[in-house]
Amino acid sequence: QLQLQESGPGLVKPSETLSLTCSVSGGSINTRGYYWGWIRQPPGEGLEWLGSIYYRGNTYYKSSLKGRLTLSVDTSKNQFSLKLKSMTATDAALYYCATQREDGSTLLWGQGTLVTVSS
Amino acid sequence: QPVLTQSSSASASLGSSVKLTCTLSSGHSTYTIAWHQQQSGRAPRFLLELEDSGNYNRGSGIPDRFSGSTSGSDRYLTISDLQSDDEADYFCEAWDSGVRSFGGGTRLTVL
């Protein structure tokens, strides 16, 4: 069955760039009709959608993150990635990758990876 | 895009039923939403997708104790025969032209 697994550094310094990767197993990222997204959750808070990408590279970004956030997809590795520039303490959160139906709900979530921002 | 409003908390007794509400912002009353469950320390899990008609589709493996209904801009999640592991945060989700939003979540306590 389809599974998603986030990977990346747990600690990032202020002003640096966060890079996370989501590995997809049990299915192909080249699936028509499905987007691959990132959602974060600060400790004790709610969910914030960051952006989503299609296997062909089409992207949607949260408006407040445009300019800081870049999503990419590597179909040869069955992975998709996030880069978030200029990290601050407010970016500290659990970061989840997920798969989403095009014009539909988020269907499956990764386990999440905790990112701390500290010097 | 739609703004989703949820009550911050709810409680109900073991074995009873509870109805959680997610309200869509003005002008978005026809939107389909999704409900997700997040147990403490765990990733969210998709429960069901709910249309403005009241039709809903549960995710794979989701028991039929979880159901959805609609009234105007309100989207409901009803959990019947409450179990202890239903104690969790419940989030609703909406989408519009690729952009997504989540409600603030309702923390359900099972008494």
Q: What is the pLDDT of residues B90-100, one digit of tens each?
A: 999 999 999 99
Contact A104 B91 (CB under 8 A): no
Instruction: State the Cα–Cα distance between residues B31 and B98, nearest whole angstrom.
Output: 13
Contact B43 A37 (CB under 8 A): no
pLDDT-based confidence at B59, cuts 50/70/90?
very high
Tokens of B69: 């209904």
Residue bearing tokens 């099972």 = B110
pLDDT attached to residue A82: 98
Contact B46 A111 (CB under 8 A): no
Tokens of A33: 């009709």
Q: Tell me the chain A residues in contact with residue B105 when contact means C-beta distances shorter than 8 Å.
A: 46-47
Q: Tell me the chain A residues in contact with residue B88 when contact means C-beta distances shorter than 8 Å.
A: none
Task: Work out the mean pLDDT of chain A and round it to a whole number.
Answer: 97
| Residue A29 to residues A23, A35, A54, A76, B49, Cα–Cα distance (Å) | 9, 9, 9, 9, 22
pLDDT attached to residue A95: 98
pLDDT-based confidence at A92, cuts 50/70/90?
very high
pLDDT-based confidence at A10, cuts 50/70/90?
very high
Contact A62 B99 (CB under 8 A): yes
Contact A105 B34 (CB under 8 A): yes
Virtual torsion, Cα A60, B94, A50, A99, nearest 10 deg: -80
Residue B99 DSSP one-character state: E
Tokens of A77: 């590795």
**B36/chain A closest Cα distance in angstroms:** 9
pLDDT attached to residue B24: 98
Tokens of A4: 């998603």
